Amino acid sequence: MSATAVSERRSKQVNGSLLTVLVAFLANLLIAIAKSVAAAITSSASMLAEAAHSWADAGNEIFLLIADRRSDRGPDSRHPMGFGREAYVWSMFAAFGLFTAGAVVSIWHGVHQLIEPEEATNYLVAYIVLAIAFVLEGISFIQAMTQSRRLAATQDRSVPSYVANTSNPTLRAVFAEDAAALIGITIAVIGIALHQITGSVVPDAIGSILVGVLLAVVAVFLIDRNRRFLVGEVVRPEVRQHVLRELLARPEIDRITYLHLEFVGPARLYLVASVDMAGDDVEHNVAVRLRQVERELEEQENIEEAVLTLATPDEASLTP
């Protein structure tokens, strides 16, 4: 595959995710600053938890930007299948950051507030900041939702199913973190309001703990998904069947006895197949035709590398 073809393919795949991450980063940075100031003014446990949440999210977006950047490099002599899996490594770092900087801090502060209560003040400041944060997080979430809905439609899947199973870790991370942020803000508002109404710090402290638990659940989910792609995630059965039909539709291929498809990066596949070439040509010509089919497959948008071998007559044929 030519360097130009590789570059064009990479650009098409990452532009949408890059915009989504940049929108999320700017939103979270502004929100983190505002929440930190509000937490200092109000002494609210829930507000401090939300500040930790937003700082963790903003830091995570940096990891996700690095993930997009480093995974966008093409193959070289030492990395024949490119650097796609770097996306999962850096996204894993982001998920760990969400757990430690967000979940642990929020839970710890909530527990500390229960042990050593501190009365909150300036409730109006908290409500205003959380309302602004909800709007900004909503804008970021809409961007992630728009991209997810568009991509899910191309595969005839629901948005939750697509986000949970997509090979794009940056989109999944932004979508999950923005959804968690909107839920977290709602929890914080309820906790602060109950603190104001009852005069007890308990609801506020519990709100902080709940935000921490929410972040922990999201972090564990993201860590697990990245782990699966790092160790080798095969495509869904319907995708495998589609590729099988596409291969059998080629005039050069009579039948297929083995097919393996594995993700080696966001929307990048490693394809291995045993095929029976059409006709009864001499060995040299068959080898040339086989390599030609491999090159044509690698020109396709999502095939990082294709390896074809010849099937033996006694092997059973695969059917779509």
Q: How far apart are CA 58 and CA 56, in angstroms?
A: 6
Instruction: Name the amino acid, one letter, at 44.
Output: S
Q: How far apart are CA 63 and CA 200, in angstroms?
A: 39
Residue in 242, 305, 228 with CA at minimum distance from that of residue 270: 305
pTM of the model: 0.80
**CATH number belonging to domain 3-231:** 1.20.1510.10
Q: How far apart are CA 186 and CA 298, in angstroms?
A: 47
8 A C-beta contact, residue 140 and residue 174 = yes
**Which CATH architecture group holds 237-310?**
2-Layer Sandwich (3.30)
Find the largest Cα–Cα distance for the chain: 88
Each residue's pLDDT tens digit, 291-314 = 999 999 988 888 888 999 998 888
Mean pLDDT for the stretch of residues 277-296: 85
Whether pLDDT at 261 is above 50: yes
Q: How far apart are CA 85 and CA 174, in angstroms?
A: 18
pLDDT at 186: 94
8 A C-beta contact, residue 295 and residue 313 = no
8 A C-beta contact, residue 53 and residue 181 = yes
Helix, strand or coil, per DSSP, at residue 264: strand
Instruction: Name the amino acid, one letter, at 8.
Output: E
Each residue's pLDDT tens digit, 113-146 = 888 887 778 889 889 999 988 998 898 899 889 9
Secondary structure letter of residue 234 according to DSSP: B
Q: How far apart are CA 110 and CA 202, in angstroms?
A: 9
Q: How far apart are CA 190 and CA 233, in angstroms?
A: 40
pLDDT at 4: 40
Residue 153 CB neighbours (<10 A)? 12
Alpha helices of 72-156 — where are they, by DSSP H?
86-97, 105-115, 123-154
Q: How far apart are CA 273 and CA 251, in angstroms?
A: 16
Domains of the chain, residue spans: 3-231, 237-310
